[in-house]
Amino acid sequence: MADSTAELIEAAARRLLAEVPALKKLSLTACVELRGRGDVQHFLLSLPAAAVRRIYSPDTHLTVSLRRDDFNALAKKGLQDWHDAYNRGRVGVSGPEPILKLLGRVVARVEARRGVGPS
């Protein structure tokens, strides 16, 4: 079981990579921003290796921002739960429009294969 935040982020990234194999073809870096109790923690996630370091880097392709308690709830869940949280505004993703559109298409294809429609 993952105890540290970095291990939870790595486990969540590996779970999503397993569910969305097309992401393994992309080389992306993301800043995972966890907000809670007046504190913000930043982690650098490198894909497809799912390597995580506790460091802030402004030179990332994406920023994934959410409250710490939402992350704790989502960390052990799959793509559909993350997508639902995104649709409800609980998870924010920002970055260049072409990358966001590409990720949206990849997720839509996975959900279409599973018979899951947009929520």
Is residue 65 in some structural domain?
A: yes
Please name the amino acid found at residue 73. Answer: A
- In terms of residue numbers, what domain contains 45? 5-111
- CATH number reported for the structural domain that contains residue 87 in this entry: 3.30.1050.10
| DSSP H or E segment with residue 92 | strand 91-94
Please indicate, yes or no, if residue 118 is contained in any of the structural domains. no
Summarised one tens digit per residue, pLDDT across range 68-113 is: 999 999 999 999 999 999 999 999 999 999 999 999 999 889 988 8
Question: pTM here?
Answer: 0.87
* The two structure tokens encoding residue 97: 């429009």
Q: How many CB atoms lie within 10 A of CB 102?
A: 15
Q: Is residue 55 part of a domain?
A: yes
Write the DSSP symbol of residue 95: S
Count how many domains the chain has. 1
117 lies in some domain = no
- Of 7, 30, 16, 4, nearest to 78 by C-alpha is 16
Amino acid making up residue 115: G
Residue 93 lies in a domain: yes
Q: What per-residue confidence (pLDDT) applies to 3?
A: 59
Assigned domain for 80 exists? yes
